Amino acid sequence: MATGEEGDVGTVEDRLAIERQIYELGNKIDNPDPEGWAAIFTDDGVADATMLGMSEPFGYTKGSDELREFARHTAERDMQELHHMTGVVFEELSADRARTRSTILVTARWAKTPEPLVLTHGFYRDLWRKTPEGWRLAHRQFTKYGSRS
């Protein structure tokens, strides 16, 4: 059910908690905190990435161990990334489930090139589940519009 429709049971507190998690994902991958980043997902959470116009993902991780390893690998690269999330839209919000869409712009700086460059941009479609620990990400789908080689 879309937000704003009759019977919508999501609260302002739910929206704020989910938005905070969206921004925490960027902060925890940028700073880096692989444990904290993976903990935002459910234990069986999935993250996949697809190039705009393609049907097959070019990246797929599932479960806490793979998600943590992905975040560790990202932290070991020879660049500093910053994930700029904006435009959070709630497509669905109920007492225990939500769907959001948000825009992402990733800038990066390499040691050899001190000026920041746009690395990639696109959008996330996220499926959230309310757990006893709070809102957790069950599935994050990144659609990549393009990137710097």
The pLDDT value given to residue 54: 84
Instruction: Work out the pLDDT band at 52, boundaries 50, 70, 90.
Output: confident
User: Strand ranges (DSSP E) for 55-149?
Assistant: 59-62, 79-93, 97-110, 117-131, 134-147
The pLDDT value given to residue 95: 93
pLDDT averaged over the chain? 90
Is residue 7 domain-resident? Answer: no
Contact criterion met (CB below 8 Å) for 81 and 89 = no
Most confident of 14-23, 69-78, 107-116: 14-23
Over residues 119-124, mean pLDDT: 94
pLDDT above 90 coverage of the chain, percent: 70
Instruction: Work out the pLDDT band at 6, boundaries 50, 70, 90.
Output: very low
- For residue range 77-121, list pLDDT tens digits in order: 878 889 999 999 999 999 999 999 999 999 999 878 878 999 899
- For 11-25, the DSSP string reads -HHHHHHHHHHHHHH
Is residue 5 domain-resident? Answer: no
Is residue 1 domain-resident? Answer: no
The pLDDT value given to residue 58: 87
Q: Which amino acid is at 82?
A: L
| Domain CATH for 78 | 3.10.450.50
127 pLDDT more than 50: yes
Is residue 2 domain-resident? Answer: no
**Strands across the sheet containing 134-147:** 59-62, 41-51, 134-147, 117-131, 97-110, 79-93
Is residue 6 domain-resident? Answer: no
131 pLDDT more than 90: yes
Coil vs helix vs strand at 81? strand
Our count of domains for the chain comes to 1
Contact criterion met (CB below 8 Å) for 26 and 86 = no
Pairing of strands 117-131, 41-51: unpaired
The pLDDT value given to residue 53: 82
Pairing of strands 59-62, 97-110: unpaired
Q: CA 138 to CA 136: how far, in whole Å?
A: 6
Contact criterion met (CB below 8 Å) for 119 and 148 = yes
Domain of residue 130: give its range. 12-147
Is residue 67 domain-resident? Answer: yes
The pLDDT value given to residue 62: 97
